Structure 1
Amino acid sequence: MNGFLVIDKNTGMTSYDVIRRLKKLHPFKKIGYIGTLDRNATGILPVAVNEGVKVIPFLENGEKTYKARFLLGVTTDTLDIEGKVLTEVETREYDTALLADKLSRFKGKITQQIPAYSSKKVNRKPLYKFARKGIEVEPQQKEVEIFDIRLLDYAHPYLDLEVTCSKGTYIRALAQEFGADLGCGATLFSLKRTRHGEFTEDMAVNIELFKAEQDVLNYLMSLEKVLGYLRETVVETALEKFLKHGMPIPLAGNSKEWKNGEITKLLNKKGSMIGVGMADTFTKTIKIRRLINI
């Protein structure tokens, strides 16, 4: 049982709560998710099981798309609706064109201040543990990229938008920054992740549908399908032993058709995935990056 479960997470549960629930259904040797979703967030949470955990590095940097709702006129200590209210003001209704223009200014590379209530670690401890104890920590910043940001609807004081962004983007921080720019303050009211790289909303299965071990088997996506976007290389049976010993194998086809460093999924003659390799056009070989035990 190797592959991925694309979970549609419900609000009120942490990402690790999803793992705990799945572990009760099957004794996985390895299990892990890509991209933490906050407790009040919903949507796509890709979960790798067994040998699937090995391919997480090839999937975790994909673009993410969210549908978010901002509440104007309110700020909180956690930057979302679950936190302690810090400020609350009456706000006038804004012109939709103004709001869309303000949002568009966030498009591109931006520097965000990491929320105090986050799992980002400082001195091997997550920031939220310091925040809960009232311990001040020097603000942490990171560069992220907003590829697209669109206003979907506006029913004052709620603002609905869709954001496509890079790994590590805090939509909570985006809400806070937008509110500050607008001058009235804002907090994240709700959030749903609708895409995570190659994982899309139509692939997701609600966590409540997992009742028994058979459900895990029914909804499991194979590694071949998950990495369907990669070029595939069928490995001759006689060459499989070289990969298992960490040795390179000849580059398939015309080396000029490959890019140096290109990632490829390696299949055996039966079509099962046995590894992930990387092309080396200088030596005209494929070097193993991850070996999959089947």
Structure 2
Amino acid sequence: MDLIRHLRFFVTVAEEGHFGRAAAVLDMTQPPLSQGLRKLEQHLGSELVHRTRQGAVLTPAGAELLPRARLLVDDADRFLAEARRVARARGLLHWGATRVLPDRLVTLCVTVLSRRGEATVATRSASTVELVDAVRSGMCDLAVVEHPALTEGLEAGPVVKLRRWLVVPADHRSARSDRPRLPMLSDLTFAAPPRTGNPAAFDAAQDLLRERGLDVETTPAADDRAVLAAVAAGTHFGMSTSPPGSVPGVAWLDWAPSALALRVRIVRRADADVGAHVDALDRVLFKERVR
């Protein structure tokens, strides 16, 4: 759990006395704010806020802990501001790429960012949820994340669709079909990144499969390598941004490119001076889009 972020929820609710107003101040919707505060309360083992018709009222525990929470949030803000100052002085650019982004595109993005000559580029590969939190906290200056995703409080660029294929065992009946259909995969398990990495995108993929007549079990596979390994074992299928190649035991299906496309976008904080870097990455992604 991101303790500082959730303490910020608590402090803002306490100061505003109302969940709706607090959500507006934090530039997010009310449900995730309320869920985040409950998660903090569960973590601490104490109820901090009474939820009433009139608004949010501090409990005795909440009133006792609020001053310390304010200090921690303020210290975190000062620490991040100082860290960003040091990073700028050293010429460091911290950016992140979702694990589902193909390796070739990640290295292309690094090359483009490095060519600007203004900073040393440090790359972080993580799930979309982790990257969004890293950008919010200032640990990353910008990131390419999967869409859809919860990005409250951040500026998000346009959505770009990247080519993605269905991958199946090489000896599976769908690999030998001239017109493969999703229901043919009903005897396989779906290997996909875990839902915790990006619940919205996970659910969207499940909805796509169900709409096309396929409802199957899912096995977590953290990245493209894990997906391909599960498929090669003969019991799974998956989605991969790796182009068709000589991977033993795996076949690529050219199925509904637009529907299957990986949707990504760039996120950054509103106060981050990274506009030129965002523009450079936008051009890279735009050239790779599904046409």
TM-score grouping bracket, smaller chain normalisation: under 0.3
TM-score, structure 2 normalization: 0.26
TM-score (norm 1): 0.26
Q: As a proportion of its length, which structure holds more strand?
A: 1
